Chains A and B, each alone.
Chain A
Amino acid sequence: MTAAAVPAQRWDFEAIGTSWRIDSATPLGEEDRAAVSAVIDAFDREWSRFRADSVVCGLASGGSVPAPADAGDLLGVYAALDDATAGAVNPLVGDALARRGYDADYSLRDRGPQAAPVDWRTVLDAAGGRLTLRRPALIDIGAAGKGRLVDLVLAVLRPRVTGWLVVDASGDLAVRGIRQRIALEHPFDATRAIGIWSIADAALCASAVNRRAWGDGLHHVLDARTGQPVRSYAATWAVAADAMTADAVATALFFDGGPRFAADRDASWVRMRTDGTVEWSPDCEAELFS
């Protein structure tokens, strides 16, 4: 069964700076849509470094606040990512991103590289129901946050919708009860695909450096150790049971430790180096064009 065989009910909207598309077997009612909007808005108010009234912006000068519901899980994923990538992924990379121009104003003015705090685990924690930041820093959950939000939206809709459901937040998507053929966008030519990945009851997250790119080779995937954009890989795709995991794997795959991180989570993957060559995991079922 494919989406084409079923008259999909489709809902398109913009949120957290990207395009969302939700397809479902039955149409979403006003209350369903309101519930989705509420979940997204709550998450954005907690974690967005692009809005001044968010929890992470309020915490940027340091302090302690009641921990957002996802804080423990997100920091846990970051700890694992930190281990897997030898420090290349760091939840306090927000200042480094802002310095390269990827700031709340989208200034895109590069003020040079800056490493994220190596000791972030002693600076930031979510213990005792509080999110505590012991010195000024800007939290950025870009490595796994969008995947988490896809999972949250899916969780809200599952009990509300009868039948299949697809939540697609532009590059991070989760599929339930249906098979979807997903094109893997060529990072150097968005009109082409390097392959097709067919998934059902799983999540697929993609990350690439072709968009959200500016200036002289600058893009949004920075090595937190140096504040420099990653150079080895141009695009990554990961399939896992949930979108937060797939998102984290897609991030890890920009670094050498990615394959092991993926294997530990039963995730399969494809990644393209900046020279155009492609690697994939042993269990990968994507069909690649070459």
Chain B
Amino acid sequence: MIRTTAVPRPLRVTAAAASVAGLALLAGCAGTSEAGDAAAGADQASPAATPAAGGNTGAAGAGGAYADGSYTAEGSYQTPEGPETITVTLTIASDAVTDVEVVGEPTRRESKQYQAEFIGGIDELVVGKSLDDIEVDRVAGSSLTSGGFNAAVEEIRADAAA
């Protein structure tokens, strides 16, 4: 069994509204055996990415309140060796997703591999926080530009403006 649990994160309702709507669609599948196919039954080897992708498709009205609790959906997907099932559990509190758990019960080695490889996270629009407001030791982004590169960019801009 593979159990992957996303680390609980402080998801803000405002930023996550679209995703909550999308997840609500998935939650609507809960309790209906195999109905999760629509959400998790993609023909891909990345089943957990499917409910995640739902984040962009939500059409529910804004501001809808969802009952706190855990919602579980089971889905199946095809592998070259046959069908596999996967169970996705979402925990919703105050209209925000606070936890995602994906449990796969791969019956084949290849499926075990696939389920370990899928994208575990929900698509979320990230707002970000000011670097001044968070306590960190360092920052990791793209490579800082070198002096030479910066100078060249400035020159190009000057040329373009001329």
Residues of A within 8 A of B (CB): 2-4, 14, 17-19, 21, 105-108, 146, 166, 168-173, 180-187, 189-197, 204-212, 214-215, 235, 237, 259-260, 262-263, 270, 272-273, 276-290
Q: Is the CB of B121 within 8 A of A284?
A: yes
Q: Which B26-65 residues sit within 8 Å CB-CB of chain A?
A: 46, 48-49, 52, 55-56
Residues of B within 8 A of A (CB): 4, 6-7, 9-12, 15-16, 46, 48-49, 52, 55-56, 102, 113, 116-121, 123-132, 134-149, 151-153, 156
Complex alpha-carbon distance, A214 and B4, angstroms: 40
Q: Which residues of B contact A195 (CB under 8 A)?
A: 126
A23 to chain B, nearest CB (A): 9
Q: Is the CB of B121 within 8 A of A194?
A: no
Complex alpha-carbon distance, A289 and B129, angstroms: 7
Q: Is the CB of A206 within 8 A of B142?
A: yes
Complex alpha-carbon distance, A107 and B10, angstroms: 44
Q: Is the CB of A282 within 8 A of B4?
A: yes
Q: Which residues of B contact A205 (CB under 8 A)?
A: 140
Q: Which residues of B contact A171 (CB under 8 A)?
A: 140-144
Q: Known interface pairs A186-B128, A278-B123. Does A215 touch B156 (Cβ–Cβ under 8 Å)?
A: yes
Q: Is the CB of A106 within 8 A of B126?
A: no
Complex alpha-carbon distance, A209 and B143, angstroms: 9
Q: Is the CB of A192 within 8 A of B128?
A: yes
Q: Is the CB of B141 within 8 A of A187?
A: yes
Given A170-B144, A171-B142, A185-B141, 4 additional A-B pairs, CB 8 A: A196-B136, A207-B143, A211-B143, A286-B7
Residue from the set B119, B137, B153 with the largest chain A CB neighbour count within 10 Å = B137
Please pick, from B118, B121, B128, the residue contacting A193 in the complex, using a CB distance under 8 A.
B128
Q: Is the CB of A290 within 8 A of B156?
A: no
Complex alpha-carbon distance, A290 and B96, angstroms: 10
B101 to chain A, nearest CB (A): 10
B134 to chain A, nearest CB (A): 6
Instruction: Give the 8 A-B CB pairs with smallest separation, nearest first.
Output: A185-B141, A282-B120, A208-B142, A280-B121, A282-B4, A192-B128, A106-B152, A17-B146
Q: Is the CB of A210 within 8 A of B141?
A: yes
Q: Known interface pairs A181-B136, A214-B156, A237-B140. Does A192 touch B130 (Cβ–Cβ under 8 Å)?
A: yes
